[in-house]
């Protein structure tokens, strides 16, 4: 969460030397942007995405509370992305019609998004003329005109505009009407733009990967193999560093083609991956592609957490056992903040409360510090500190403890340590780093997590209830997950399952668009506990759920570890029925090739041990 989204936007804009006219182009009026920056209004999610991406950032790290209609728009967009990845083109056309019904016809950002999806469909149908027209029309909707004869990006552009330009360049390359070396220069311009303007590494990531691939591919087509190799190595290095699977298949196929002209030893893929492992990785990607899964729609959710104010008020009131009449009273019990008719309409999603009413209702429900619609883990107006926190999280997740400790000390020296949310974040990180290094006992770990949770949650004892309907921040959810993890590490699998299942209900039944960051780890942990409890079929199911979320979000870390869980379960089943031996060996080999590719030595050791113990050589 941030002290004020508007102040953060304004500070970012001024640091980067961007005036209000340039930032607001094609997104909103100057007066509206001024109201955003002053805190008088908060933008919709779609407007916020456009503004923050023009400033070189993305919105993936925010928890966002929206109106119910905005939440439905985001839900529909996520479903559209899923349909594209699943290659369900007929359903995609129908869903676009549904999206148009949800949107305001005069909103150019929504029209631009529809142009982008239409261009993808035309490209798939090899109707390049219409695809190009949709791209150009989409760009012009927000006042951006592209001159292909003198291609230069001289203004700051939004994520959707950048996606449209990249799609346009891919279409031009497929159409084969423009000299490929000209298109090479266009992609170089994209690289130059994201290097200069996109300072958020995660926002830059996919654009850098797609640009590196297309440059490498064009150079390959023009027999410039050494230069192509340079960009292949850059792209793959970026994929490995960021634990991504985006464009991985295309890069590896290009590696195979280049190997006819260049020695494999020159490829900077990974220190210990062999040429034959590439075939295994490619086969694995095809076998576990999204279109090969059943019942995957229930796992479609945004990467970040999206809630509607309506569901937050409804669920938290029920969790708090307050009547609608009690909610009508202000926290000091001296005035009314609404009436029962309005509260009923809000809870039934027929009415959206304004910012002031939302704040009053949330305070009455004892979550009064959550009135910001757009929230981050650290409450500071300096965006550099927000990015510092994300780097800390990444390093802790991947056990880079020294790096995490150095960055955390830097963060502590710069933030308001008296703020309860900053205090909770810092103490959480300190605990996770300490446990990574010394491995606390499960009781020590659990007690510390409860203590850190109590910094922001007053009714901490109530967490033992069967269902959690109240709203939790992302950091609170991470801590709740790790209470289950404390039982998990202590071998108390039944207690761990009880805790994990309560958290699973929170995600599935009450907040279906809460983000994948915690949910994916929850499913992974569930798969492990089911396996350790000898419920192998259930463990395999949860592992496959992890794979679905990893594929949707182009993340590799849980992907290949979930594969290992599946192979491990087949190994355990193999001990009773040798029919599982072939499947066990195949999946462990798949996981091992990915672990080598991403330099996950800990997992490689585990797999080698299992192969030796189970005589799978």
And the tokens for 428?
């959480």
Please name every residue paired with 307 in a beta bridge, in sequence order, or none if there are none: 65
Q: Strands 63-66 and 305-308: what pairing?
A: parallel
31, 107: one domain = yes
Q: Which of 221, 524, 475 is nearest to 370 (CA)?
A: 475
Residue 352, pLDDT score:
87
Please name every residue paired with 401 in a beta bridge, in sequence order, or none if there are none: none
338, 416: one domain = no
Q: Could you tell me if residue 355 is inside a domain? A: yes
pLDDT at residue 369 is higher than 70: no
Average pLDDT, the chain: 90
Please count the other Cβ atoms lying within 10 Å of the Cβ belonging to residue 276: 8
The distance of Cα 298 from the centroid of its chain, to the nearest Å, equals 17
Q: Could you tell me if residue 481 is inside a domain? A: yes
Q: Taking residues 405-410, report their average pLDDT.
A: 96
418, 393: one domain = yes
Residue 1, pLDDT score:
38
What is the rounded distance in angstroms from the CA atom of residue 565 to the CA atom of residue 162? 38
And the tokens for 521?
């780890």
Q: Taking residues 336-363, report their average pLDDT.
A: 84
pLDDT digits (tens, 9 = 90+) for 520-533: 999 999 999 999 99
374: phi then psi, degrees, rounded to nearest 5: -120, 115
Please name every residue paired with 63 in a beta bridge, in sequence order, or none if there are none: 305, 375
Q: In what order do the strands lie in the sheet with 374-375?
A: 305-308, 63-66, 374-375
Burial class of residue 305 (count of CB atoms within 10 Å of its CB; 0-12, 13-18, 19+): buried
Q: Could you tell me if residue 119 is inside a domain? A: yes
Q: Which of 105, 8, 3, 100 is nearest to 51 (CA)?
A: 8
112, 70: one domain = yes
Task: Give how far Cα 613 sits from Cα of 133, 575, 605, Å.
Answer: 60, 11, 12
Looking at the 3D structure of the chain, how many domains does it have?
3
Q: Could you tell me if residue 282 is inside a domain? A: no
Q: Are 54 and 203 in contact (CB under 8 A)?
A: no
pLDDT digits (tens, 9 = 90+) for 4-32: 788 888 989 999 999 999 999 999 999 99
The helix (run of H) or strand (run of E) holding residue 306 is strand 305-308
Q: Could you tell me if residue 3 is inside a domain? A: yes
Q: Could you tell me if residue 196 is inside a domain? A: no
% the chain with pLDDT above 70 = 96
Full domain range(s) for residue 365: 313-376
357, 474: one domain = no
321, 469: one domain = no
CATH of the domain at 597: 1.25.40.10
Residue 218, pLDDT score:
97
pLDDT at residue 97 is higher than 70: yes
What is the rounded distance in angstroms from the CA atom of residue 518 to the CA atom of residue 477? 7
pLDDT digits (tens, 9 = 90+) for 268-323: 776 667 888 999 999 999 999 988 887 777 788 888 888 999 999 999 888 888 88
Q: Which of 181, 123, 109 is nearest to 151 (CA)?
A: 181
Among 328, 344, 376, residue at a domain's last position: 376
What is the rounded distance in angstroms from the CA atom of residue 195 to the CA atom of residue 211? 12
393, 492: one domain = yes
pLDDT at residue 41 is higher than 60: yes
pLDDT digits (tens, 9 = 90+) for 99-129: 988 886 568 999 999 999 999 999 999 999 9
Residue 372, pLDDT score:
66
Q: What angle do CA 40, 41, 44 make, to 5 degrees?
A: 170
375: phi then psi, degrees, rounded to nearest 5: -130, 145
pLDDT at residue 324 is higher than 50: yes
430, 564: one domain = yes
pLDDT at residue 338 is higher than 80: no
pLDDT digits (tens, 9 = 90+) for 531-574: 999 999 999 999 999 999 899 888 888 899 999 999 999 999 99
Among 131, 156, 176, residue at a domain's last position: 176
Q: Could you tell me if residue 298 is inside a domain? A: no
Q: Could you tell me if residue 220 is inside a domain? A: no
477, 415: one domain = yes
391, 351: one domain = no
451, 555: one domain = yes
What is the rounded distance in angstroms from the CA atom of residue 426 to the CA atom of residue 187? 41
What is the rounded distance in angstroms from the CA atom of residue 180 to the CA atom of residue 516? 39
Among 358, 376, 394, residue at a domain's last position: 376
534, 566: one domain = yes
Does the global pTM surpass 0.85?
yes
């Amino acid at each position: 969460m941030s002290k004020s989204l508007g102040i953060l936007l304004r500070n970012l804009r001024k640091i980067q030397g961007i005036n209000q006219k340039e930032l607001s182009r094609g997104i909103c009026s100057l007066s509206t942007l001024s109201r955003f920056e002053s805190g008088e209004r908060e933008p919709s999610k779609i407007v916020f995405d456009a503004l923050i991406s023009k400033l070189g950032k993305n919105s993936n790290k925010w928890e966002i509370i929206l109106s119910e209609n905005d939440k439905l728009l985001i839900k529909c967009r996520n479903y559209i992305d899923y349909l594209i990845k699943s290659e369900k083109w007929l359903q995609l056309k129908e869903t676009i019609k549904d999206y148009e019904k949800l949107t305001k016809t005069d909103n150019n950002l929504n029209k631009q998004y529809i142009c982008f999806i239409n261009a993808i469909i035309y490209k798939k149908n090899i109707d390049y003329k219409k695809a190009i027209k949709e791209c150009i029309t989409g760009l012009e909707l927000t006042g951006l005109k592209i001159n292909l004869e003198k291609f230069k990006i001289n203004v700051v552009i939004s994520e959707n505009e950048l996606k449209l330009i990249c799609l346009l360049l891919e279409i031009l390359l497929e159409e084969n009407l423009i000299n490929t070396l000209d298109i090479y220069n266009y992609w170089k311009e994209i690289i130059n733009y994201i290097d200069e303007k996109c300072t958020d590494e995660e926002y830059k990531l996919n654009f850098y990967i797609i640009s590196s691939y297309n440059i490498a591919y064009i150079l390959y087509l023009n027999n410039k193999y050494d230069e192509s190799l340079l960009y292949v190595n850059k792209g793959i290095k970026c994929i490995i560093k960021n634990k991504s699977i985006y464009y991985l298949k295309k890069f590896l196929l290009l590696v195979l083609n280049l190997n006819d002209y260049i020695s494999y030893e020159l490829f900077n893929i990974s220190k210990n991956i062999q040429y034959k492992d590439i075939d295994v990785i490619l086969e694995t990607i095809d076998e576990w592609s999204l279109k090969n899964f059943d019942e995957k729609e229930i796992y479609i959710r945004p990467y970040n957490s999206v809630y509607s104010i309506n569901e937050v008020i409804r669920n938290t009131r029920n969790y708090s056992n307050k009547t609608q009449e009690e909610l009508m009273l202000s926290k000091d019990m001296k005035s009314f903040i609404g009436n029962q008719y309005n509260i009923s309409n809000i809870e039934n999603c027929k009415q959206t409360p304004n910012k002031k009413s939302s704040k009053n209702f949330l305070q009455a429900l004892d979550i009064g510090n959550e009135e910001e619609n757009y929230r981050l883990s650290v409450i500071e107006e300096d965006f550099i500190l927000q990015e510092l926190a994300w780097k800390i999280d990444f390093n802790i997740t991947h056990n880079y403890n020294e790096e995490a400790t150095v960055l955390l000390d830097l963060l502590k020296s710069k933030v308001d340590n008296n703020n309860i949310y900053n205090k909770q974040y810092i103490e959480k990180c300190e605990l996770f780093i300490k446990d990574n290094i010394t491995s606390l006992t499960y009781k020590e770990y659990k007690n510390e997590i409860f203590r850190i949770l109590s910094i922001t949650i007053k009714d901490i004892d109530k967490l033992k209830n069967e269902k959690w309907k109240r709203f939790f921040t992302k950091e609170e959810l991470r801590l709740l997950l790790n209470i289950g993890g404390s039982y998990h590490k202590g071998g108390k699998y039944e207690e761990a399952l009880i805790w994990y299942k309560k958290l699973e209900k929170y995600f599935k039944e009450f907040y279906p668009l809460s983000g994948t960051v915690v949910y994916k780890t929850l499913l992974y942990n569930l798969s492990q506990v089911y396996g350790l409890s000898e419920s192998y079929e259930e463990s395999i199911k949860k592992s496959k759920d992890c794979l679905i979320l990893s594929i949707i979000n182009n993340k590799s870390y849980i992907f290949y570890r979930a594969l290992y869980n599946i192979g491990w379960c087949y190994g355990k089943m193999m001990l009773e029925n040798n029919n599982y031996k072939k499947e066990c060996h195949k999946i462990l080999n798949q996981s091992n090739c990915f672990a080598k590719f991403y330099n996950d030595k800990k997992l490689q050791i585990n797999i080698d041990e299992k192969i030796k113990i189970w005589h799978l050589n």
